[in-house]
């Protein structure tokens, strides 16, 4: 871009995931050609983002700061949700993916990270004590472990199983197998193996 200010804006936009300099430049040129209110509104929302949005004190989901304490997200505020059904996820993204199904009637607990010894994330880095407290306080009767079916996700699931063994509530694990609409021909051997070993009676 031809001016220092534009170069700076392009560099800032290019920090977004999957955005390179060309895409960032496309965004800027679009905004310059569009109604000035779009860039202004977007700019104001972004400036305030970290003041407005904070993690829910109860579950770690994204919550809108409204000056109340504790800060609760919309799921934790929803009385129709069953507090006895708790779903443990690694990241907020995973919580959002589960919410999109519209079938989760319980609440969540966001770990924030997965066990990953190679990256220096050991069991002590995970909020297991806080999870245990929540289980006891909310009278949880089923814990759905919805960490991803990856190496770190499975390791985290096994750690939870070991840590919560004495708590005496059933832990369940989300199914792993061939995705909906997926082709058996193109499923990798691990996925196909899981689809087989996780088979259920018709």
Residues near a second copy (CB under 8 A) are 1-6, 8-9, 12-13, 15-19, 23, 25-32, 34, 36, 38-50, 52-53, 61-64, 73-75, 92-93, 96, 99
Q: Report the nearest approach of a second copy to the CB of residue 155 (Å).
A: 22
> Cα–Cα distance between 96 and 141 in angstroms, integer?
23
Nearer to a second copy, 12 or 136 (CB): 12
Specify the DSSP element, H or E, that contains 127. Answer: none
Nearer to a second copy, 82 or 163 (CB): 82
Which residue do the tokens 């069953």 mark?
Answer: 82
Nearer to a second copy, 36 or 189 (CB): 36
Q: Report the nearest approach of a second copy to the CB of residue 96 (Å).
A: 7
Q: Report the nearest approach of a second copy to the CB of residue 24 (Å).
A: 10
CB-based contact 114:121 (threshold 8 Å): yes
Gap between the terminal Cα atoms of the chain:
61
Nearer to a second copy, 70 or 166 (CB): 70
Tokens encoding 65? 């700061």
Q: Report the nearest approach of a second copy to the CB of residue 37 (Å).
A: 9
Cα distances from 153 to residues 71, 102, 114, in angstroms, run 28, 23, 6
Counting Cα atoms < 13 Å in the Cβ hemisphere of 35 gives 4
């Amino acid at each position: 871009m031809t001016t220092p200010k534009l170069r700076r804006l392009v560099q800032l936009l290019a920090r977004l995931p999957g955005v390179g300099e060309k895409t960032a430049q496309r965004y800027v040129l679009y905004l310059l050609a569009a109604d000035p209110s779009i860039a202004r509104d977007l700019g104001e929302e972004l400036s305030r983002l970290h003041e407005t949005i904070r993690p829910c004190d109860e579950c770690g989901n994204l919550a809108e700061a409204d000056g109340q304490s504790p800060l609760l997200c919309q799921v934790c505020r929803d009385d129709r949700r069953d507090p006895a059904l708790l779903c443990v996820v690694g990241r907020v993204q995973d919580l959002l993916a589960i919410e999109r199904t519209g079938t989760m009637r319980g609440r969540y607990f966001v770990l924030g990270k997965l066990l990953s010894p190679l990256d220096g994330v050991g069991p002590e880095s995970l909020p297991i004590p806080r999870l245990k407290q929540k289980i006891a306080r909310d009278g949880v009767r089923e814990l759905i472990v919805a960490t991803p079916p990856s190496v770190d996700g499975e390791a985290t699931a096994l750690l939870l199983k070991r840590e919560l063994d004495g708590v005496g509530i059933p832990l369940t694990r989300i199914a792993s197998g061939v995705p909906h609409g997926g082709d058996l021909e193109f499923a990798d051997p691990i996925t196909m193996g899981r689809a087989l070993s996780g088979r259920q009676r018709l």
